Structure 1
Amino acid sequence: MLRKTSTGTWLPAWVPESTLVLSLLLIMCSFVQSCTVGYDTALLNALNIMPAYNNYFRLDAATTGLNTASIFIGGILGPIFAGMIADRLGRRPAMFWSSLIAILGVAMQTAAQNIATFVVGRIVIGFGASASGIAGGVYLSESFPSRFRAWGVGSLNDFYWIGAILAAGISLGTGTWATSWAWRVPSLIQGLFSLLCILILPFVPESSRWLQHQGYFDEARLAVAQTNANGNISDPVVLTIYQEIASALESDKECKSSIGEIFKDQILRRRFLIGTSVGPLSTVVGNLISLFYLGPELSIAGLTDSRAQLHINLVLNAWCLFCCLVGTYLVTSWGRRPTALVGQSLLTTCLFIIGGLTKVYADKGPNGTSNSLLYGNVVMIFLFQGFYSLAWTPLIYLYPTEVMNYRIRANGVAFSSFMLSSLTLLLVFIMPIALENIGWKMYIINGSWDVIVLLIVVFFWLETKGKTLEEVDAIFEKGRQHSNISNIEARRGK
């Protein structure tokens, strides 16, 4: 059923006419993975502090690592299929089915009576959340209004901290309960994000680039008009964007997207390696310690009260949300590469300082150190997480989708997510064992890796600020242009 809009065009009855309303819906249905994983991170951080959870499963260092890291087993499996499904079925169907799988995993985790069921449930959540994140990140980058893409896609991973704040707050409220519902209630609420995505999907259009690639040309043109000009197909900006999309996809038809073909082509290889570097680099910088094991981290720093640790968990997540919003502003106004360089430099410095302060406490013990050392360590943990949120949180979905072109975008984002989950699985599993055995040395080792990460950004990353997805091609392909109408923003003002 169609309806006539105020601009004289016809749209499906369920599609919002307002570009602003549609943009908000696009963000809300795409934020499932970041919210789910952010919620999960703060949830497990809180559960690892919570006596009711530890006593129920009778956890030691190894089983704590297994329970916490198991979501990333699913995070490894999801990307293997997610890119292919998003390319073949479409971005929206991929998000629907992955959200449904995540809800099934939440149900299993909540009802778990033993470690095995709990772990399997978390693997299923990881599968669904990672697949949803790949489809959602690609979908949002391809569908969001071009002039606001940096804000829209950059804020996608900011929802990580909204989910984290909700989990920390809910866990703080249930943390004093003596029964297993202390951890089951916050676990159950984790499924609401996927449910919300399923409810919103009927009200948003499919990716215009996917429609164009599949040969649905009229639908693709209409999708561009819906997301950029309130459904006005004759708008000059719509004509410009659509022409660039059509031209770019026509050029890409000759391009093979298999891994073998990508590595044979020098330009594609460069785009693939730069784009997929974001996931693994963002994982090894040291943030996983505070994300999943804040309790042990605070304990070896001298703060052992579980209630105080839960309060710090909540405040830390709120602080990170503020910092990632600042980071989203910076990547939009300042640029992707400068923001990454400054944030990475500062967080590396913080990590070495945390290692030094923790060593002092380990050498002198609780009786030989003052409260100022403890407070200083907590402050540095906050600063480290803040700089990470500023530099990496907005870039995880924004930068890969900009650097890679349509033919390799879905599979490239999937590979980046695969590497992120693989490294996270390894690091999260060994983290409690490492903290127990080498303590403060963990920070020094991680800080050394961070210097290497900084050098990779310095020498290999390129700036993509202020360009459409098709205009980024010119950076890699020496001036290639997909339309004879340049400067979209200038056209918008006419």
Structure 2
Amino acid sequence: MASHEQTRMHELIRDSPPWWQSSKLVQLYFLLLPALLTSSAWGFDISMTNGLQSIPEFSKQFDNPEGSRLGFYGASSSIGGLCAVFIWPFFVDITGRRLLVFIGALLVVAMSIMETFSTSFYMFAAGKLLLGFGSLTSQIVAPVLVVELAHPKQRQAISSLYNTSLYIGLIIGAWIAYGTAGLSSTWAWRIPAILQTALPTYQVLTIWFCPESPRWLASRGRLQAAQDILIKYHGQGRETDLVQFEIRKSSRALSRQLNREGFRTVLSTRGNLHRLWMCAVTAIASQCCGSQLVANYLPQILDQVGFSSTKEKTLMNGLIFIASWLSAIAAAFTIPYVPRRSVFLSSTGLMLVLFTIWTALAAEYVKTSSKSIGIGVVAMVFLFNMTYCACWVPLVIAYPLEIATTKQRAVFFCWVYICINASSTAVTYINPIGLQDISWRYYIIQTIFIALVFIAIYFTFVETQGRDSFLDVSEANRRLTDCSAGYTLEEIAVLFDGQESFDRAMVDVAVGVGKQMELDDGRKASVVATETVESKDA
């Protein structure tokens, strides 16, 4: 594609009206809510893991789990999710996006009911494990569905916003646990467990109203259906120039050979190996930089600094998730206008400073048992988690999707979730053991890990914001300050694979369009021939 055509496409994206001025886009984003809320079910489960530890009736029912038993309880959802990552990716291109969201949400509903009526610790943990399997089944495809349906002008913001719904589940779960903590029966923990069915039930009932991914439809040879969706929602019923450009991109999916090539060649180039490394660092750091300590084991942290009552712990649990969610939401709307690498570096650097202060205060509390020092630790926990959420919550999804090429997106996204769940399983199991055995000294290990992540980002992460090798320098600089123009995946690929990757991608587009034109011409010729024969017979 010529440079002026690419420039024209960016201008069309930039000049598109805001989504709230387009009735069809408003309708589209409303229909996308079931997919956008996928992380909420996962967040509710994390909140349950945390909140139920503060409820005496739960500990009494299941013999006060601690150490390795508590670690297994906390890690069970991640173990289930890890199993899902190794199974469902092979079916994504067959089943489509919506079916897996439906299956995953249905499993979460069923396992929440199993948790509610559990009679033993291992029955409850088994329910959590299978719930994690169901939740990740949905999460494998939901963000891809969101990204592939979103209008190009809002795609960055929507993909950044997607993972913030995690905190909707965290907040709801935390405050439900706060409200039921005072009950003197097993319903103190059974009520949060049964209410966990609410969000996935909404998904089960509404996901089929959401359109299917145009790119998946095109990959199955249903190009007309893909075109109809793009025309209806992105073009307000008209085949605009921007819609035509999107249709040409979707036409590449007509060749299933290209999709298979994406799986076969993912390890064949330095560019792809670089992508795999960046996806792995992003995924692992999102779980192992201290966030799992706060998300899953906040009660233990609070116990160690003098906040030991049920009311104090459940209240802190609810407040910290609200503060973190507000931080993540603000970041989701800001990140599209800020260089990605700068966000990673500034956030991780500040996390390192805050965690170092947290560690020092925790060590001082052991010596003095000062209430003010304990409050200082809690303040650092709040600030640390808010800083984490300003970067890692939105970008753990948005950044890997941004750096992956179209035909290899499913491969890289599965790799992201493998790394997320493997690292989450390990750190969630280890955290309570470390906190119990070596107390505040465990934070030193965590501090060193954050420092290593900062170094990895500094030396290996690529800036994808405002980069465009197809425009002159003045135009590229203008884009850096006017990020509403948007960027294609093919352009970002040049940062990893060089100019040849863009040329090959454009050839793929031409081939796809050519094949579709041949198919259309063949159908038209067949119709004309049939009509001619029928007219002669008449």
Same fold (TM over 0.5): yes
Select the residue among 49, 67, 86 that pairs with 1:80.
Answer: 86
Amino acid at match of 1:295: P
Select the residue among 304, 311, 323 that pairs with 1:307.
Answer: 311
Contact preservation (8 Å) 1:276, 1:413:
no
* Distance in structure 1 (CA, Å) of the matches to 2:391 and 2:254: 32
* Distance in structure 2 (CA, Å) of the matches to 1:164 and 1:401: 24
Partner of 1:34: 39
Partner of 2:8: none
Contact preservation (8 Å) 2:253, 2:259:
no
Contact preservation (8 Å) 2:46, 2:296:
yes
The Cα shift of 1:318 comes to: 0.3
* Distance in structure 2 (CA, Å) of the matches to 1:67 and 1:428: 9
Partner of 2:498: 478
Residue 342 of structure 2 aligns to a residue in which SS? Answer: helix
Query: Deviating runs (4+, > 4 A) in structure 1?
Result: 247-252, 481-484
Tell whether 2:358 aligns with 1:338.
no
Partner of 2:397: 397
Alignment of structure 1 residues 8-47 onto 2, 5 Å: 18-26=24-32, 28-47=33-52
The Cα shift of 1:222 comes to: 1.6
Task: After superposing the two structures, state which structure 1 stretch, 411-420 or 385-394, moved more.
Answer: 411-420
The Cα shift of 1:417 comes to: 1.1
Contact preservation (8 Å) 1:32, 1:129:
no
Contact preservation (8 Å) 2:111, 2:127:
yes
* Distance in structure 2 (CA, Å) of the matches to 1:459 and 1:240: 36
Task: After superposing the two structures, state which structure 1 stretch, 392-401 or 237-246, moved more.
Answer: 237-246
The Cα shift of 1:82 comes to: 2.4
Q: In structure 2, do the counterparts of structure 1 residues 474 and 375 end up closer, same or farther at CA, with 3 Å as the change threshold?
A: same
Contact preservation (8 Å) 1:86, 1:93:
no
Tell whether 2:67 aligns with 1:69.
no
Select the residue among 218, 224, 233 that pairs with 1:218.
Answer: 224
- Structure 1 or 2: larger helix share? 2
Partner of 1:275: 279
Amino acid at match of 2:36: F
Tell whether 2:298 aligns with 1:294.
yes
Select the residue among 288, 312, 328 that pairs with 2:332.
Answer: 328
Partner of 2:196: 190
* Distance in structure 2 (CA, Å) of the matches to 1:207 and 1:333: 26
Select the residue among 35, 48, 51 that pairs with 2:53.
Answer: 48
Task: After superposing the two structures, state which structure 1 stretch, 152-161 or 99-108, moved more.
Answer: 99-108
Contact preservation (8 Å) 1:46, 1:168:
yes
Select the residue among 41, 57, 61 that pairs with 2:62.
Answer: 57
* Distance in structure 1 (CA, Å) of the matches to 2:344 and 2:255: 33
* Distance in structure 1 (CA, Å) of the matches to 2:451 and 2:50: 27
Q: In structure 2, do the counterparts of structure 1 residues 207 and 219 end up closer, same or farther at CA, with 3 Å as the change threshold?
A: same
Tell whether 2:439 aligns with 1:439.
yes
The Cα shift of 1:246 comes to: 2.5
Amino acid at match of 1:223: I
Amino acid at match of 1:352: T
Amino acid at match of 2:273: R
* Distance in structure 2 (CA, Å) of the matches to 1:361 and 1:339: 32
Alignment of structure 1 residues 54-453 onto 2, 5 Å: 54-61=59-66, 62-232=68-238, 234-247=239-252, 253=258, 256-258=261-263, 261-364=265-368, 366=369, 369=370, 371-453=371-453
* Distance in structure 1 (CA, Å) of the matches to 2:95 and 2:78: 25
The Cα shift of 1:17 comes to: 6.7
Contact preservation (8 Å) 1:23, 1:145:
no
The Cα shift of 1:468 comes to: 2.6
* Distance in structure 2 (CA, Å) of the matches to 1:268 and 1:289: 32
* Distance in structure 2 (CA, Å) of the matches to 1:358 and 1:300: 8
For the pair shown, which has the larger CA radius of gyration, 1 or 2?
2
* Distance in structure 1 (CA, Å) of the matches to 2:101 and 2:256: 28
For structure 2, list consecutive stretches of 5 or more residues without a partner in the other structure: 1-21, 466-485, 508-538
* Distance in structure 2 (CA, Å) of the matches to 1:268 and 1:432: 36
TM-score (norm 1): 0.89
Tell whether 2:490 aligns with 1:467.
no
The Cα shift of 1:188 comes to: 1.2
Amino acid at match of 2:278: I
* Distance in structure 2 (CA, Å) of the matches to 1:324 and 1:78: 27
Task: After superposing the two structures, state which structure 1 stretch, 269-278 or 28-37, moved more.
Answer: 269-278
CA RMSD, 1 decimal: 2.0
Task: After superposing the two structures, state which structure 1 stretch, 384-393 or 219-228, moved more.
Answer: 219-228
Percent identical: 24
The Cα shift of 1:247 comes to: 4.4
The Cα shift of 1:408 comes to: 2.3
Amino acid at match of 2:495: I
Contact preservation (8 Å) 2:285, 2:453:
yes
The Cα shift of 1:264 comes to: 2.1
* Distance in structure 1 (CA, Å) of the matches to 2:23 and 2:212: 15
The Cα shift of 1:116 comes to: 1.8
The alignment of Structure 1 onto Structure 2 pairs a total of residues equal to 462
* Distance in structure 2 (CA, Å) of the matches to 1:254 and 1:143: 19
